[in-house]
Each structure stands twice: as structure tokens, then as C-alpha cells.
Amino acid sequence: MQLYRSMFWGALLAGSSALYAEDPPSLNEIEKRIAQLEQGNLEPQTNWTDQISINGYLSYGITRHDVHQDQGGAPPVNFQAGQPYTFRNRVTDEISHRDISRVGLQINAEINDKTSAVVQLLGRGRDNYDAEVQWAFIDYELLEGLNWRGGRLMLPNSMHSQYLNVGYAYHWVELPGEVYDIVPFDTIDGMDLTLKFNTGSISHDLSAVYGSLDVPDNTFGVPVIYEGRDYGGINLRSRWGDLMTWFSYNHARLSADLSSLDLAFAMLGLPPPGFASASIDEAVAIGRSVGFQYDNGSFFMMAERADLDIDAWYPNRWGGYVSTGYRIGKWTPHVTWGAANTHGAADALNDGNPLTSGLALSNMVRGKSWTLGVRHDLASGIDVKLEAKRFYDMSNEKFDSVGANTNGMFSPSTLAGEIEDENPVVYRISVDAVF
């Protein structure tokens, strides 16, 4: 009991000085509240329903494609001919009810006039709906128009990052992979500062973020952790009437120890292939994005381009899209053109290390796409969407000459046979709700 009392003394004293600086409680009041807590009859000072709000979102979607491996391509005899490709390492020729389905629950707690706490739980269908903490941060108003946040935050590296998983917030079934698949993670543990200000009739949100992140990768069958340290970034969102613009720049030190892959081979009694030589040690990673959006309530158009440069065997990648649509009552037909490409892998391909060159080749991505879709708002807070995405131009002479992945966003393996359809189509249907 003495330890229990000491812990609460420390917590309450620390919390009271930080959160109730304007009217701190006396020591007698603190002791009285501890006594009431120990007796089980502590009454709340205020009605908790006035301080806490709960919101959520849910998306149920189905997706599939019908693309398989051809007889030709590399290797010369493709023993996997007729087998389905995987799209983004997950979707096959079977209907998937989980790949794009997800649910989120957000709790907002007002601590005082200047401080609030936000926690968001996210469960993805592809992860068996295992809940993870997507957001968990404290928001404190330092000055009017200047806020500090600390904890787990959404990574603000693209125009729509802050509502990445809220399908109801955008017209697509999913955000364009040409941009939003470049960085395979969406949260950071750290802090940010956001300043809201105006220049004439233009309003701005200027943010700076700093933190770190760990990204697990199970591509090889053995967990590999990509560590991002000293992540720093700055972004600017500006609004002028119906027009919004976005600029973002960020950098980090990236490391990944691949020696665990050699250990896995050794445990199976096989000679280690030497993956340790492909480990990444504090390589500089730089990301950039720029975009704009015009929306007058009926007609809208938006475009975005992003790129990621890593000073390692991982090839540099860029992607972009242009999307437009028109709202006709409760219907919103839309069309999107997208493109993605990789470059800058020459050093890895020519360094004489077959592992680094193989990793670089398998991560080279090229492709363009057209997406046709329609959104129908069934009622306030719920919609249904239908979408077809057709890919094309997924290789060129340069890719073919070096033996790179020639299958766009489909199977990343350089050993897989060529795709049987040069213009594969991915179909999606979703129902989104917010509450």
C-alpha cells in the first residue's frame, strides 16, 4: 500500500503541475483524493461524457484480379506457368474479403482547455483484425495557432496521409498505390509542431516533425526490421478558396541487419548465402512530395507526385497521379491516371555482389495505370464504391536488359515468368462508413 500511495503521489504531483498549471490543487486536496480512491468512493470532478468523445470508421471491401504467369520469360522454362500472380504481395485471382477491409476506433479526451489526448485503434482484415495502436498522442496548445503533439503520430509524408485509412474521406476505394505504396509504413513515434497562420486570404498549416520508426518486413520469411532514426520533416498545406496545395520534405537514417537471414539458412543446415553483406547501415533516406487539389463542391481535380531516395542498394522510386471527377447528386464518377518508376540502382547492379544486385532488381517497379470508378453516397456517413484499375507499360528495354522485375506492382520476384496479360486489371468494391 505504501508503494501504491507513493506512485500516486508522484503521478498526481507531476500531472497536476503540467496539466493544471493555471489552478494547481493543494497537497491536502491531493491526499483527500488518494484516500477516496483507496476507499473506492472517488467521485469524478466533472462529467466524463463532457470530456471524452468516441468516433470511428469502417471499410468492408472485396478485390480480385485474374492474372497468371505465362510460359515464357525468365527462367527459360517456367514451372510456375498458369499460377496466379500476387498484387502488392497479397491479392491473387481469388476474391479477397480482407485485403482492403479495416476498422478504426478513435477516442478523444479533453484534459483541459489547452490539452487533449487522442488514441486510435486500427484493425486490418489482412492482419486478421488484430488491433494496433495507430495514434496515441498528447496535443498541447502552446500559443494561439501553435500546437505541439507527442506520441505515436501519422507520418505526414503525403497529401492525404492524415486520413489514410478512412475510406469515406476520399473518392477512391484505396488511395493510389503509385504514391502511397512508396513508403511501406504510416506511423512514427515522435513529436511535431504545427503553426496555423494567414498571408492575406491564404491560410497555411506549417508543420515540423521529428522521431523514429521501426518497420518489420516478412518478405523473406524471416522478420527483418528496417530502423529509421533521426527522422525529420517539414510540410506546408495552404488553402485559397477552393484550391489547396501541399509540399513535404523529410529525411532519416535507415538501417537493416540482414544477418538473420543467413542464420535461418544455417539452422536449416544450408550454407548461408551471405545476406549480411547486403545489410544497410545508417543510409541516408530522403523523401519529397508535392500536390494540389481544386474542389468547388461539384467538380474536383487533384494531382500528386512523391519520390524516395535511399543511399543503398534499394533503388530510388517515384510515383504520381492525376485524378478528376464530378459530383452529380449522390453519384461521383471519377477517373485517375497514375505512373510509377525506379532509377538509380546502377551502383548496386555493378558492385559485384549478387545479393545486393538481386535485391535491387526485385525492387525495381515500373508501370502506368488508368482507374475508372464511381462513388454513391447511400446516406450521411455511408457510401459504396466500385472501381477497376488497368495497368500498362510495365517494362522497357532498360528493365529487360538488366533482368529487373518487369511485372509492375505484381509479383516482385525476378524469377517469376512474364505476366500473361500485358494490361492486367484489378477490381475493387467497398462500403465505407464513419460514425
- Statement: residue 338 has pLDDT above 70: yes
- Statement: residue 54 has pLDDT above 50: yes
Considering the chain, what is the average pLDDT of its residues? 83
User: Over the stretch 274-316, which tens digit does the pLDDT of each residue have?
Assistant: 888 889 999 999 999 999 999 999 999 999 999 999 999 888 9
- Statement: residue 158 has pLDDT above 90: yes
More confident residue, 301 or 407: 301
89 confidence band (pLDDT: 50, 70, 90): low
Task: Please check whether residue 251 is in contact with residue 213, taking contact to mean a CB–CB distance below 8 angstroms.
Answer: no
pLDDT value of position 340 = 94
2 confidence band (pLDDT: 50, 70, 90): very low
- Comparing C-alpha atoms, which of 296, 291, 289 is closest to residue 326? 296
pLDDT value of position 64 = 85
User: Over the stretch 188-206, which tens digit does the pLDDT of each residue have?
Assistant: 999 999 999 999 999 999 9
Tell me phi and psi for residue 271, to 5 degrees.
-65, 130
> What is the C-alpha separation between 222 and 88, in angstroms, rounded?
19
- Statement: residue 159 has pLDDT above 90: yes
Range of lowest pLDDT (41-50, 126-135, 146-155, 200-209): 41-50
| Range 232-260 average pLDDT | 95
pLDDT value of position 16 = 40
- Statement: residue 53 has pLDDT above 60: yes
- Comparing C-alpha atoms, which of 233, 55, 246, 57 is closest to residue 155? 233
- Residue 3 φ/ψ region, left for φ over 0, alpha for ψ in the -120 to 50 degree band, beta for the rest: alpha
% of the chain at pLDDT higher than 90: 54
| Range 136-157 average pLDDT | 96
- Statement: residue 320 has pLDDT above 70: yes
More confident residue, 351 or 200: 200
pLDDT value of position 47 = 63
Threshold 0.85, pTM exceeds: no
Range of lowest pLDDT (40-44, 59-63, 351-355, 363-367): 40-44
pLDDT value of position 216 = 81
- Statement: residue 407 has pLDDT above 50: yes
| Range 209-221 average pLDDT | 82
CB atoms within 10 A of CB 421: 13
pLDDT value of position 409 = 72
pLDDT value of position 21 = 43
> What is the C-alpha separation between 389 and 354, in angstroms, rounded?
35
Q: What is the CA radius of gyration of the chain?
A: 25
- Comparing C-alpha atoms, which of 292, 293, 301 is closest to residue 326? 301
- For cell 461524457, what's the residue? 49
Residue 361 is inside which H or E element, if any? helix 354-362
Helix %, strand %, coil % of the chain (to 5): 20, 50, 35
235 confidence band (pLDDT: 50, 70, 90): very high
| Range 143-167 average pLDDT | 95
* Ordered structural domains, the chain, with CATH: 1-43 (no CATH), 50-434 (2.40.160.10)
- Statement: residue 78 has pLDDT above 80: no
149 confidence band (pLDDT: 50, 70, 90): very high
| Range 219-241 average pLDDT | 89
- Statement: residue 14 has pLDDT above 60: no
% of the chain at pLDDT higher than 70: 78
- Statement: residue 3 has pLDDT above 70: no
414 confidence band (pLDDT: 50, 70, 90): low
| Range 219-234 average pLDDT | 85
| Range 81-95 average pLDDT | 59
- Statement: residue 82 has pLDDT above 60: no
In sequence order, which residues have a C-beta less than 8 Å from that of residue 341 and are 6 or more positions away? Answer: 317, 318, 319, 365, 366
